[in-house]
A = this chain, B = another copy of it.
Amino acid sequence: MNRLIAILCLIALNCFSQSNLKETYNLMPWPKSIEENNHRFVIDENLTVSIEGDSPKRVQHAVTSFLRRLSNRSGVFINEGFAMPLSENQQASIQISFKESAKLIVDDDESYKLDIQSNKVTLVAHTDVGAIRGLETLLQLLTNNDSEYYLPGVSISDAPRFVWRGLMIDVSRHFHPIDVIKRNLDAMASVKMNVFHWHLTDDQGFRIESKIYPKLHELASDGLYYTQDQIKEIVEYASILGIRVIPEFDVPGHATAILTAYPELGSKPGATYKIERYAGVFDPTLDPTNEDVYVFLENLFTEIAPLFPDFYFHIGGDENEGKHWDANEQIQKFKKDHNLSTNHDLQTYFNIRLEKILNKLDKKLVGWDEIMTPNMPKTAIIHSWRGEHEGLAKGGTLIEAAKKGYNTILSNGFYIDRMESVVKHYQTEPIGDVQLTEDERSRILGGEVTMWSELVTPLTIDSRIWPRTAAIAERLWSPKNITDTDNMLKRLEVINYRLEDVGITHIRNKDVILRNLSNNQDISALEVLSHVCEPLKIYSRNEGGTEYKTYSPFTLFADACNVDAKDALKFKKAVTNYSKTHSEAHKTDIISLLEIWSKNHEAFQKIDKNPKITPLETLSYNLSEVSKFLLKRIKNERTSKKDMKTFKSQIETLKQPFADVELVIVNDLENLFEALK
């Protein structure tokens, strides 16, 4: 019995210490296992790194990057700027070894073991990619006291839960030059993501050079496209980081750009098409009954496929409402002749033709979940994106696909362009409590964050992707039981600003927008507002897709704001706790925020007015006024009935959107008022 208690104590202690470790170390994704020792590896100028393993190109690159970032973060002037082979430096203080180069396929082993002692760090992995994942962990461990930077003594054994941890970037709605892609690849690698899904074509632009069909990039990109050399550059850059690249050519819908160049492939006879400038679902669609379409796609894919060494090739296949098919008599006849009773059947016919083309090119077809129709071959991969919001059951099509025998990846729940809290995405558990056979489980490859770019430009895209994507990366890498949201938020705060190291511009570009808004006047009042405002969510910023064109300004207040506005989170916590406890500490927190807001309108008014900030005036004024009122209440000062009436009316005003943002503290202001009654 005593032994049982001892064992239980040990388990409890271990649980406690693991959660304790999560308070100490700001790792993300959290590793599979971590143990502390009492050592400390101090960073000094004599630090050296050795590599053991054949074809160490990836690891060499990663070590160089590691050393630069280590040096930049610590300020230490490290004498040796590059890794050496182990044979040349048996005494290296950081020793890395691996057995083989990863092939960049879904079966790659990305595990690693890391051991930090006083004078030596050992990083062992099966593959080079495992080793570079471990280097990122090492860098995340870097910490300091007042006199030195050091790596704390820990032993880590780590491996991913899912093999597919992706980020999709839509470069059609807004083009994103290769430096944007590169810095985001670096950021992906820093949180151990391994798939870059490149949404290259859509109604708003065809973004890749075609030498066989040059009209595609010449007529349908506004000059904003990647040359084939740039594509190769990115694929090589990603490969060095252990990231696979999956191209997407969205067909048969989302095809306005293709049809702008080659209207004869469309489903509306005689029509001409123009690159789409708005957002939404549009009618232009390839004609699946036209053999020329298959010749075109086979030629195009044959040209493009060699640029992308990955096995997988995404053909989109989403959101085709088939309106032009319905209106075309020939297409209707074709359906009858081929026993295709619905447009879905027709699209499946199209997809199966595509699958054969891709098979010839040694590629596997990936498509959005609309492609999962009864006749679709099981070799296709189902990209699950629809869920409750799209009229499906919770959990969407992922489990269904796996059960039906498809490999599948999840994006439902990871649509970061919906501008929802990181908490919601973090809590999206792909499998949950569903009982799956081993085979079914193995078909759930992982998931992808989707960065649709209707409302993001190179100036703002990083702030929309990060930091939320880091939390999703953890969901896809870390054990299922890593779910403590508060702890995730604490770690995310550090990971967030560390993303600046790899060039992510999410923090720095905010002030750029505010300076532009204010014509370079003092931006502190706008900063204060931006900490309690968030851009309108779930596509309501661009109602019907017609408020913004692709070339509308994205340098507005809403573009400077972000989800999870920081003072809003702080205020919510303080109000929630104060409502329960009426403690002085929470009261102090509340008062300090209310004081900032109550004074802010005075600062706001000092900015010379201009048409960009005028729409914020009502917001700013009313926020100050309600804060003044609540300050009086919380300090037990006298307020009149009239004051209360004014307060209520001001709160109603504040519930409206202003300049495409919402004041996200408005409910908590009301809650506070109730708590003070």
In chain A, residues 67-93, which have Cβ atoms closer than 8 Å to a Cβ of chain B? 67-68, 71-79, 81-82
Chain B residues with CB under 8 A of A77: 548-549, 552-553
Chain A count of residues within 8 A CB distance of the other chain: 60
Interface 9-mer from A30-38, A119-127, A514-522: A514-522
Q: What separation, in Å, do the CA atoms of A277 and B82 have in the docked complex?
A: 12
In chain A, residues 589-609, which have Cβ atoms closer than 8 Å to a Cβ of chain B? 608-609
- Known A-B contacts A507-B515, A519-B144; A71 and B608 likewise in contact (beta carbons under 8 Å): no
Interface residue A551 (Cβ < 8 Å from any Cβ of B): yes
- Known A-B contacts A179-B177, A608-B146; A75 and B511 likewise in contact (beta carbons under 8 Å): no
Interface residue A391 (Cβ < 8 Å from any Cβ of B): no
Q: Whole-angstrom distance from the CB of A14 to the nearest CB of chain B?
A: 30
Q: Whole-angstrom distance from the CB of A501 to the nearest CB of chain B?
A: 8
Interface residue A223 (Cβ < 8 Å from any Cβ of B): yes
Interface residue A494 (Cβ < 8 Å from any Cβ of B): yes
Residue from the list B61, B73, B145, B610 in contact with A516, Cβ < 8 A: B73
- Known A-B contacts A146-B608, A507-B512; A71 and B179 likewise in contact (beta carbons under 8 Å): no
Q: Say whether B508 contacts A81, CB under 8 Å.
A: no
Nearest chain B residue, comparing its CB with the CB of A557: B75
Chain B residues with CB under 8 A of A494: 520
Chain B residues with CB under 8 A of A515: 497, 500, 507
Q: Whole-angstrom distance from the CB of A209 to the nearest CB of chain B?
A: 12
Interface string of A536-552 (1 = CB under 8 A from B): 00000000000011111
- Known A-B contacts A508-B509, A511-B508, A515-B500; A75 and B612 likewise in contact (beta carbons under 8 Å): yes
Residue from the list B68, B147, B227 in contact with A611, Cβ < 8 A: B147
Interface residue A674 (Cβ < 8 Å from any Cβ of B): no
Q: Say whether A520 contacts B497, CB under 8 Å.
A: yes
Interface residue A149 (Cβ < 8 Å from any Cβ of B): yes
Chain B residues with CB under 8 A of A149: 610-611
Interface residue A148 (Cβ < 8 Å from any Cβ of B): yes
Q: What separation, in Å, do the CA atoms of A608 and B143 have in the docked complex?
A: 12
Q: Say whether A614 contacts B146, CB under 8 Å.
A: yes
Q: What separation, in Å, do the CA atoms of A178 and B230 have in the docked complex?
A: 12
Q: What separation, in Å, do the CA atoms of A497 and B71 have in the docked complex?
A: 30
Interface centre among A64, A179, A509, A554 (most CB of B within 10 A): A179
Chain B residues with CB under 8 A of A505: 508
Nearest chain B residue, comparing its CB with the CB of A78: B551
Interface residue A428 (Cβ < 8 Å from any Cβ of B): no
Q: Say whether A73 contacts B555, CB under 8 Å.
A: yes
Interface residue A229 (Cβ < 8 Å from any Cβ of B): yes
Chain B residues with CB under 8 A of A611: 74-76, 144, 146-149
Interface residue A556 (Cβ < 8 Å from any Cβ of B): yes
Q: Say whether A144 contacts B227, CB under 8 Å.
A: no
Q: Say whether A75 contacts B500, CB under 8 Å.
A: no
Interface residue A222 (Cβ < 8 Å from any Cβ of B): yes
Chain B residues with CB under 8 A of A508: 505, 508-509, 511-512
Q: What separation, in Å, do the CA atoms of A592 and B147 have in the docked complex?
A: 34
Interface string of A10-23 (1 = CB under 8 A from B): 00000000000000
Q: What separation, in Å, do the CA atoms of A550 and B67 have in the docked complex?
A: 13
Chain B residues with CB under 8 A of A81: 277, 549-551
Residue from the list B78, B222, B556, B612 in contact with A82, Cβ < 8 A: B222
Chain B residues with CB under 8 A of A144: 519, 610-611
- Given pairs A71-B553, A508-B512, 5 additional interface contacts (CB within 8 A): A67-B551, A75-B556, A77-B548, A229-B229, A507-B512
The 12 sampled A-B contact pairs (Cβ below 8 Å) are: A68-B551, A72-B553, A73-B555, A75-B611, A77-B553, A81-B549, A81-B550, A144-B519, A146-B609, A494-B520, A497-B515, A507-B515
Which A residues are closer than 8 A to B by beta carbons? 61, 64, 67-68, 71-79, 81-82, 144-149, 177-179, 222-223, 227, 229, 233, 277, 493-494, 497, 500-501, 505, 507-509, 511-512, 515-516, 519-520, 548-556, 608-612, 614
* 10 tightest A-B CB contacts, nearest first: A179-B179, A146-B609, A81-B551, A508-B508, A75-B612, A72-B555, A229-B229, A497-B520, A71-B553, A144-B610
